[in-house]
Homo-oligomer: A and B are copies of this chain.
């Protein structure tokens, strides 16, 4: 569970109870399409349309309605919303998503990472781990028509591990790979939480040194700076699972309990401490170890940690190196040591980190860490690896909070309109010519009053209106109006640039 923040779990329930709760939340859509909601509920952001635009819409529509009786035999109201917890991306939302993804891509590429992807539908086995993670109870899983157990991916790392094993020795290490993919979790729908999100992942495969973690955190910081987020908005809490591992080792706790213990500890701020202790006891930890663990987790500075554990501990050397590299990269002010950070996924083995909103209003923004032993759990040879996940939801909330959302408007360079139905073909020819020259063109496809055309031109932020009228066309010319200045002239079609 990387980019989806810790708090996004139903963690105040015991996992076993979760599916029961979820099953009780039976909703609107029945097994078969019979009794859908009677009136389409209009959602979305486009409700601020002016009445003028509505008139245009009505004109456009009334001029062209065609509704003989349906021949599909299924006429009935459907729910016009996407399935609960999922999103449509109408144009304005899509522009924002594209802007965000473009920033993910450009940052990744500036760090020399290559883009990859996997199927959104994977074998369920890839996500079934036995460490008590909530991810398992939140899987969108089913049996396909070939009796395979499959699941919509809840995260991207297991697919990455699968691909790395598959590629084997045919690829040169280190691999620096990034991906932006949709992930699915059946979570309870509270506080605007959704069941799908897109996640940006960057992973370095084949580097055991903490230089890799530093490079990853530097990527995220670079991304934040690009979109206007500063170190006073966001920080990173950093720790290492090797701290916990060291404590367990000292008390001779078997290493096989490690993943399970981490998953329990990750819930510390979400469920009562007595429940945490109870769960830890169920993994056969003694009260003494539990107290020691809880003490260590409260440490907030590296010198204090060193005091407690001594200076020969690997975790401390690595954390020191990471903080030293942060100075070189120039992101020191973004990071702080915090032993309470363990992250909720079983497979992390070393450094773990989490990006948080300094105002404390939002859930974790991103998270990641080192997972040197994931490949062997799938039957491959282990290769040192680390990575992070960064969801598309919380960062957008943060940008809204800070009023940093970009203004992204549709912009089509030209709008072309014929002044006579007989000249529609001529207008098409002009549009084709301009597009061939690399210009974007919105061609008016029906006979419309000029008033309508100007309104549309304004809506699409056109720079230029090209009118194809009889008099000019006979001379091989068109009328051009620069919309910002009002400047107007005639030009030969071939000279339009």
Contacts and interface: CB of A to CB of B under 8 A. Distances in A.
Nearest to A92: B114
B131 A140 contact: no
Interface stretch (A78-86, A227-235, A269-277): A78-86
A373 B112 contact: no
A209 interface: yes
A218 interface: yes
A381 to B, nearest CB: 7
- How many copies of this chain does one complex carry? 2
A192 interface: no
Contacts of A126: 78
B379 A445 contact: no
A105 to B, nearest CB: 9
Nearest to A414: B112
A163 B115 contact: no
A167 interface: yes
Given A40-B168, A66-B208, A70-B377, 13 more contacts: A23-B146, A40-B166, A41-B166, A49-B172, A63-B208, A64-B207, A64-B209, A64-B383, A110-B440, A112-B412, A119-B196, A146-B186, A222-B435
Contact of A22 (B146, B170, B222, B429): B146
Nearest to A112: B442
B166 A44 contact: yes
Which interface class (under 10, 10 to 19, 20 to 34, 35 or more) fits A?
Answer: 35 or more
A169 interface: yes
Given A65-B384, A144-B140, A207-B446, A376 B75 contact: yes
Given A149-B29, A445-B174, A130 B382 contact: no
A145 interface: yes
A115 B410 CA distance: 10
A36 B146 contact: no
A173 to B, nearest CB: 3
Contacts of A115: 91, 94-95, 98
B379 A40 contact: yes
8 contacts: A23-B146, A56-B172, A67-B373, A70-B373, A71-B257, A71-B373, A112-B443, A328-B426
B439 A110 contact: yes
A215 interface: yes
B27 A424 contact: no
Interface in A400-456: 410, 412, 415, 424-426, 428-429, 432, 435, 438-443, 445-446, 455-456
